[in-house]
Amino acid sequence: MRKIHVIGIGAGDPEQLTLQAVGALRSTDVFFFLDKGEVKSDLTGLRRDMLEAHLPEGTYRVVEARDPERDRSAGGAAYAGAVEDWRGARAGIYERLIAEELGEDETGAFLVWGDPALYDSTLGILEEVLDRGTVAFEYDVVPGISSVSALAARHRTGLNRVARPVQITTGRRLAEGFPEDVDDVVVMLDAQQAFLRYADQDVDIYWGACIGTADEILVSGPIAEAAPRIERLRAEARERKGWIMDTYLLRRNPKDR
Ligand SMILES: C[S@@+](CC[C@H](N)C(=O)[O-])C[C@H]1O[C@@H](n2cnc3c(N)ncnc32)[C@H](O)[C@@H]1O
């Protein structure tokens, strides 16, 4: 039976690779790298560095494939359809990789940024491949340090206040409104700087870009003061690198609800 590890590799700092993840790397014959356009060289390079740091040369293979682009123009009702189509296309690629590039008795691995449980589709896609029934395999999941954990650690803060909830959401959702009944909100996948909408409210922001990498930028404080700084630093970093990954915690003063 083919085996697959889905390995969380941390949010960018190679030292966030856990001992369990290193153990899983060592038991892998074939690594599948799916590249994503502009972030390709940086992220693929980082993954290669991790393998070289922990595995003897010549003991593993790397197979690269192109991740299909999602139709990002689709909004409203078409959005779910676009995501569905994209998942289907990715499942086809994973299915082919596993069937053609992994021997019957071999172990393959997908290295997932951060933790596979958070805004990552690898597990859903593997289930879809299994449902198709064309190739059989077993898989396990190795948790990783998510960008959310890394953000909280770098700002030396907790995510929730005492006995209070915290919600993790996307920039797209935050742009629609601050979640009801929750005052601590972690935002990921925000291409539109949705936090700007709350710049006149009694909210603190803990923001981090490229956390754990040499390009890391951290800003925190009352949002009215921090937001213009974040806007500027974000634009500069995007200009310099061509892409940016940022995550932030918004902490609202309850009376502003
Ligand atoms: C597709 S999600 C993947 C999340 C990942 N599974 C995790 O556990 O962090 C990508 C989003 O994660 C966040 N992210 C990932 N790495 C980051 C980093 N090094 N610094 C800041 N944010 C990061 C950003 O919000 C980015 O838009």
What the block records as the tokens of 143 is 């948790």
Residue nearest to atom 2 of ligand 1 (CA): 119
Q: Which atom of ligand 1 is nearest to the CA of 144?
A: 8
| Pairing, β 167-170 against β 61-66 | unpaired
- The span from the CA of 86 to the CA of 37, in Å, is 15
Q: Which of 3-7, 112-116, 242-246 has the lowest mean pLDDT?
A: 242-246
111-155 residue pLDDT tens: 999 999 999 989 999 999 999 999 999 999 999 999 999 999 999
The reported pTM is 0.93
- Which residue type sits at 50? M
CB-hemisphere CA count at 13 Å for 241?
21
Residue 22 reports pLDDT greater than 60:
yes
- Which residues have CB under 8 Å from 26's CB, separation 6+? 54, 55
Residue with the two structure tokens 């393998």: 51
Predicted local distance difference test score (pLDDT) of residue 76: 74
Distance CA(51)–CA(60), nearest Å, equals 9
Q: Which residues line ligand 1 (CB under 6 A)?
A: 11-12, 113-115, 118-120, 146-147, 188-189, 208-212, 245-247
Q: 242 CA distance to ligand 1 centroid (A)?
A: 16
Task: Please state the atom number of ligand 1 nearest to the C-alpha of residue 12.
Answer: 19
133 CA distance to ligand 1 centroid (A)? 31
AA identity, residue 12: G
Reported as a pLDDT band with limits 50, 70 and 90, residue 57 is very high
Q: How far is the CA of 210 from the centre of ligand 1 (A)?
A: 8
Rounded distance from Cα 103 to ligand 1 centre (Å): 32
- Cβ-contact 109, 28 below 8 angstroms: yes
